[in-house]
Amino acid sequence: MQHTVLVTGGAGYIGSHTTRQLLHAGHRVVVVDNLYSGNKWAVPEQAVFVELDSGNRAAVCRLMHEHDVTAVIHFAGHIVVPESVSDPAKYYGNNVVNSLQMIQACRDAGVRHFIFSSSAAVYGTPATIPVGEEADTAPINPYGFSKLTTEWMLQDLSHSDRINNKPAGECFNHVALRYFNVAGAALDGSLGQATPDATHLIKVACEAACGKRDQIAIFGTDYDTEDGTCVRDYIHVEDLAKAHVTALEYLRNGGQCQTLNCGYGRGFSVRQVLDTVQKVSNAELNLIEAPRRPGDPPILIADKTKIHEVLNWRPDYDDLELICDTAYKWERNLVKFQKRHRDQTKAG
């Protein structure tokens, strides 16, 4: 049986990969994106695309009714940690206020299944590594606070249905997926990250390897880690997209509300990542040392136990060299890829 899934931010990096996997799994997909940082060409032709702000409650609700939407995967949101520190109102407005409007549109339209794009930033600087979902949440930047606030809203709204004695089949259920560091691109080179002015390390390093940047800054070399640089858990975008599709099936099969880490359970330092990018690209990067950025914890590594147990999710691409290699190959072809789509748009 086909189901219609509404994907907000589906023209963005993770959203476009997930949209493609949803289509491959046999779902109908409606993509809502205001193209703030997404690209229309990244949306597969089989999906319905609507240029719209996901915070427009009335318009989104009408769209849900029009396409008989039964589930939402909510990616739309701002994600740049340093920007959230310098402009917190922007993050609370889009990531919290607009998310509430989106959730309310779901409830208005009777949509019961909701998958939320959250972040490991909700943990702040965790006391134990790897960090599990039961750990204290103590964000150290507005981006993390905005994601945690939306998680709380989802929990409260789901709980309210139960204390109001709604039948189980009518209750609002959600899965919040806490991403660690997402990177990489489709293995066939057909899709990847095209976000302008990206700040993610592997993306930035691949841009430098392709000559699009003159240098790479290492923000902080005095952390209490093996080589003094931050350590992160990197997850391939295709494995993360697969987690969303699996979470959707979990909810549709009667699964209850969950909060789950999305990571591999092991970390790599900034220097290790840069060494790997240099290896796969055969390019020497111009590296400079810079002060720490505000809002960066020293180490973030996922405890992956719960997502394995709840969703039976198993990654296919748990390999840093593969992640960097796919990201580099995508970056190398991105200029040609964008030009081809511009030419096709003009011809059309």
From 166, 163, 150, 48, select the one nearest 104 (Cα to Cα): 150
Distance CA 97, CA 160 (A): 19
Please state whether beta strands 234-236 and 287-290 pair in parallel, antiparallel, or not at all (unpaired).
unpaired
From 39, 47, 107, 44, select the one nearest 72 (Cα to Cα): 107
Token reading at 258: 């969950």
Token reading at 225: 């880690």
Q: Which of 13, 91, 143, 250 is catalytic?
A: 143
Residues 6+ apart with CB under 8 A from 292: 219, 220, 222, 223
Cβ neighbours of 196 (radius 10 Å)? 6
Instruction: Judge residue 77's burial from the number of C-beta atoms within 10 Å of its C-beta, 0-12 exposed, 13-18 middle, 19 or more buried.
Output: buried
**Identity (one letter) of the amino acid at 201?**
L
Q: Is 328 a catalytic residue?
A: no
- Name the CA dihedral angle for 218, 222, 223, 226, rounded to a multiple of 10 degrees: 90
Distance CA 264, CA 191 (A): 22
Residues 6+ apart with CB under 8 A from 88: 142
Cβ neighbours of 344 (radius 10 Å)? 10
What are the residue numbers of the active site? Answer: 143
